Amino acid sequence: MPLSTHIKIMYLNPAGDSADDEMFADMARTYKYPGTAADIVSFNPATVPPKMTDLEFRSYEALTIADTVKAARQASKEGYDAMAIGCFYDPALADAREISGDTIVVAPCQASIMQAMTIANNFSIIIGEDKWRDQMRDTVYRYGYRDKLASFESVGLRVEEFHTDPERTIALMREAGRRALAGHAEAIILGCTMEIGFYRELQQFLTEESGGRNVPVIDCSIAALKAAEDAALRRRIGWTNSRVGGMRPPSEAELAKFGIFQDGYTFGNIIHVPAGGTDRA
């Protein structure tokens, strides 16, 4: 009997500001599988600063960790097949996986690298500011891809500046892409979920620059969405979260004893992108 492709995923906007939820919802409408129901959610404004538009600083990221873990717990309670954490720092990924039950948790950095490694021998990552380099390099190395990282290429933009002047952004990305190719990168990863929408034009430009030889440019937001969908489909054949060794979660009895994770988590905003098309109210 064929495996069911009807799946339910959550895409978590990990900054406090819900203003970008619609951009992620448009991405889901465009790139999800027909059988996928995707919910774009943002944090409870009572617990994560609602005006915070980025996690560029470690101190900002720290303010979201508990809510990310609670979101994963809630995703499990509500029967989501998978959850994507929408930040290239992959914040709280291991923590969220520990408490997520059978809901598989993915994140953009790991998802993008795994995609790059199926179609290229190495990759460069285009980042906003040089400050991002240190934390992202540590993440790439921790995932085991030290020897596959060709370079980081900065465009000198803050997260909220990527879509302020799109023509300037793509011009800066073209120069960053040229530098990456000069350093022998075979694939390019866009290292911020707010670089969404630029991959297609950059890919075409770099392919033309390479004499018509394909240069894949991976949009990390789309990569996280597809990783969540693919993980959800693999659940159908029994490939879900390990719960032994380092993946063993705390017992429900201990959680009750400590009085943690007992209440449901209330999201600040939810956009439903149902299977097949139009949003439902």
Annotate 240-271 with DSSP letters as a single string: ----SGGGPPPPHHHHHHHT-S-SPPPPSEEE
pLDDT confidence of residue 279: 44
DSSP conformational letter for 1: -
- Do 127 and 191 fall into the same domain? yes
- Residue 171 inside a domain? The answer is yes
pLDDT higher for 210 or 16? 210
The percent of residues above 70 in pLDDT, for the chain, comes to 97
Q: How many CB atoms are closer than 10 A to CB 227?
A: 23
Residue type, 44: N
Joined together, the tokens standing for residue 235 give: 């659940």
Q: Across the beta sheet with 82-85, what order do the strands follow?
A: 104-106, 82-85, 7-13, 36-42, 269-273
Amino acid at 216: P
Domain match, 252 and 181 both: no
Predicted confidence (pLDDT) at residue 3 exceeds the cutoff of 90: no
Q: 176 near 154, Cβ under 8 Å?
A: yes
Q: What is the CATH number of the domain that holds 149?
A: 3.40.50.12500
Last residue of a domain, one of 219, 242, 258: 219
Tell me, yes or no, whether 92 and 148 share the same domain: no
In Å, how far are 43, 88, 173, 199 from 180, measured between CA atoms?
A: 35, 19, 10, 15
Give the SS3 label for residue 150: strand
State which residues form the domain around 137: 109-219
Please check whether residues 84 and 161 belong to one and the same domain: no
Has residue 252 been placed in a domain?
A: yes
CA atoms within 13 A on the CB side of 116: 28
Q: Which residues contact 80 (CB under 8 A, 6 or more apart)?
A: 8, 9, 10, 39, 103
Q: What's the pLDDT tens digit per position in 82-120? A: 999 999 999 999 999 999 999 999 999 999 999 999 999
The pLDDT confidence band at residue 231, using thresholds 50, 70 and 90, is: very high
Q: For residue 214, tell me if it sits in a domain.
A: yes
Mean pLDDT of 256-278: 91
Structure tokens at 102: 């059978």
Computed over every residue of the chain, the mean pLDDT equals: 95
The pLDDT value recorded for residue 18 is 82
Q: What is the number of domains present in the chain?
A: 2
Could you tell me if residue 1 is inside a domain?
A: no
- The pLDDT tens digits for 176-198 are 999 999 999 999 999 999 999 99
Contact call for residues 215 and 174 (beta carbons, < 8 A): no
* 167 backbone dihedrals φ, ψ, rounded to 5°: -65, -40
Contacts of 275 (CB under 8 A, 6+ apart): 6, 34, 35, 36, 37
Write the DSSP assignment of 220-242 as a string of letters.
Answer: HHHHHHHHHHHHHHHHTTT----
Is residue 125 one of the residues assigned to a domain? yes
Q: Are 196 and 26 in contact (CB under 8 A)?
A: no
134 and 232, same domain (yes or no): no
| Residue where the block lists tokens 């994560």 | 48
* Same domain for 200 and 237: no
Question: Which of the four pLDDT bands, split at 50, 70 and 90, describes residue 29?
Answer: very high
Please compute, for residue 229, the number of CA atoms within 13 A of its CA located in the half-sphere on the CB side: 19
Statement to judge: residues 67 and 202 lie in one domain = no
Segment 170-175 shows an average pLDDT of: 98
Q: Is residue 281 part of a domain?
A: no
Confidence of residue 281 (pLDDT cuts 50, 70, 90): very low
Region 163-188 average pLDDT = 97
Residue 20 and residue 194 in contact, taking contact as beta carbons nearer than 8 Å: yes
277 pLDDT band, cuts 50/70/90, is low
Contact between residue 219 and residue 225 where contact means Cβ atoms under 8 Å apart: no
Between 20-24, 86-90, 119-123, 137-141, the lowest mean confidence (pLDDT) is in: 20-24
Write phi, then psi, for 155 (nearest 5 degrees).
-110, 0
Same domain flag for 43 and 85: yes
Nearest CA-CA partner of 65 in 87, 34, 82 = 87
Is residue 148's pLDDT more than 90? yes
Q: Rounded to whole angstroms, how far apart are CA atoms 230 and 152? A: 27
What was the pLDDT predicted at 16? 77
